[in-house]
Structure 1
Amino acid sequence: MHPNSAFRPRQDDLAELLVREIGFAAIFASTPDGPRVAHAPVVLSDDRATLQFHLARGNALTRHLDGATALAVVQGPDAYVSASWYADADQVPTWNYVAIEMEGTARKLDDAALVAQLDMLSASHEARVGANPPWTRAKMNPALFSKMTGAIVGFEMRITAWRPTVKLSQNKSADERERVAVGIEATGHGALAQLMRHLGGDRDSA
């Protein structure tokens, strides 16, 4: 989390929105073998109190997560910011980025809860891709589906802390922020440029 309070989202629901939109996280935890990280699709509960995910049973983190404190990080768009884009020569290069950290205690899910998680994931993302008809597990041989789910383990992390960073040049003037957005867009990072313009406008009008 960046220490500058200017990079904390002003909108209460922005961190939640980004987690739902991106839907993929790095899960960190300490283990007897040292720190480990896994990467997984995630499901945020409606009340934003819990985050569900699943890992391969053979993942180095899986056997240590039940009851452990974990950190989930959802990464948004990011890009290099050239100091040459500022009007003031006394500037240095930096990096704009979006990152949402969530901390909490993880618990292992039973088989029924794991299947429910998989159903939620597929329904959400099938709707996004516009599949018609959408894929569901009803299309699979039940025995094969059961065998495949036996190779993964579901978890739910009860979130005790949210630490979002949305670093989009909010500490710069509107003119400088637009120059940076133009530069970022020209380097192929259009999504980040659009976020800068949207959030920057909200901040200036606040």
Structure 2
Amino acid sequence: MHPAASFRHDDRALLEALVAEVGFGMVFLTTPDGPRVAHVPLLSTGDGAIQFHLSRGNALTRWLDGAQALAVVNGPDAYVSPVWYEDQGQVPTWNYVAVEMEGRVRRMSEEGLHGLLETVSARHEARVNPSAPWTMDKVPPASMARLMGGIVGFELEVEVWRSTFKLSQNKSAEDRARVAAGLVDSGAPALAELMRTLVP
């Protein structure tokens, strides 16, 4: 993570909310085959763990159970132009939000995996199709059994949370306001909103 302490955020509720809002991330592990990463939907359990599933054929699947792994969720990010500063004799940078979660991974039971899939689909269906959400019971049982046989569920018990909320904290309030306005104009309103709400 970024070494500057001013960019860190220790509010666990905020970090959990970011994981829940984004809902997708990366899981990293050094395996006997070399370093590997999986891109996966992530579910925060709300009590310090995150759950995810992988294809049985994924390069990480056979190595994860019992391993110490790293999961990363990226929030909004955007290029910051020096033209937005009062003094333009500076260099461009990038503002971004990211959370790293490190911990031991365990394989989930089939019942736990089924519950994970139901929860993830229900959460996202409520966003995209609230009036008539898709549910798992629409899949014929034989098809569901075959599909579930092709995936494995995992839970990472988070031991260490690390975050970077790089939101121009090292700039003046006036420059931050100009950067936020520039981000809105350039199509990054979510990052601008975080700058306005999280930086005093």
TM-score interval for Structure 1 and Structure 2 normalised by the shorter chain: over 0.9
Cα shift readout 1:13-52 (whole Å, capped 9, x = no counterpart) = 21111111101110000011110000111111122x1110
Secondary structure in structure 2 of the residue aligned to 1:13: helix
Deviation at 1:5, TM superposition (A): 1.2
CA contact (8 A) 2:10 2:163 kept: no
Deviation at 1:90, TM superposition (A): 4.0
Q: Which residue of 1 aligns with 2:7?
A: 7
1:184 to 2:179 alignment: no
Secondary structure in structure 1 of the residue aligned to 2:132: coil
Aligned Cα root-mean-square deviation (Å): 1.3
1:16 to 2:16 alignment: yes
Deviation at 1:132, TM superposition (A): 2.5
Deviation at 1:89, TM superposition (A): 3.8
Q: Which residue of 1 aligns with 2:123?
A: 124
Deviation at 1:88, TM superposition (A): 2.1
Cα shift readout 1:35-83 (whole Å, capped 9, x = no counterpart) = 0000111111122x11100011111111111111110000011111112
Q: Distance in 1 between matches of 2:105 and 2:129?
A: 32
Q: Distance in 1 between matches of 2:89 and 2:103?
A: 41
Secondary structure in structure 1 of the residue aligned to 2:115: helix
Cα shift readout 1:133-173 (whole Å, capped 9, x = no counterpart) = 32111111011011001111100001000001110111211
Flag structure 2 segments of 5+ consecutive residues without an equivalent: none
Q: Which residue of 2 aligns with 1:80?
A: 79
CA contact (8 A) 2:16 2:46 kept: no
1:113 to 2:116 alignment: no
Secondary structure in structure 1 of the residue aligned to 2:153: strand
1:33 to 2:33 alignment: yes
CA contact (8 A) 2:81 2:92 kept: yes
Q: Distance in 1 between matches of 2:81 and 2:97?
A: 18
Using the aligned pairs only, state the percent identity: 56
Q: Distance in 2 between matches of 1:65 and 1:12?
A: 25
Residues 1-206 of structure 1 correspond to what in structure 2 (within 5 A)?
A: 1-9=1-9, 11-47=11-47, 49-200=48-199, 203=200
Cα shift readout 1:91-128 (whole Å, capped 9, x = no counterpart) = 22111000000000111111111101101111111122
* Farther-moved stretch of structure 1 (177-186 vs 96-105): 177-186
Secondary structure in structure 2 of the residue aligned to 1:2: coil
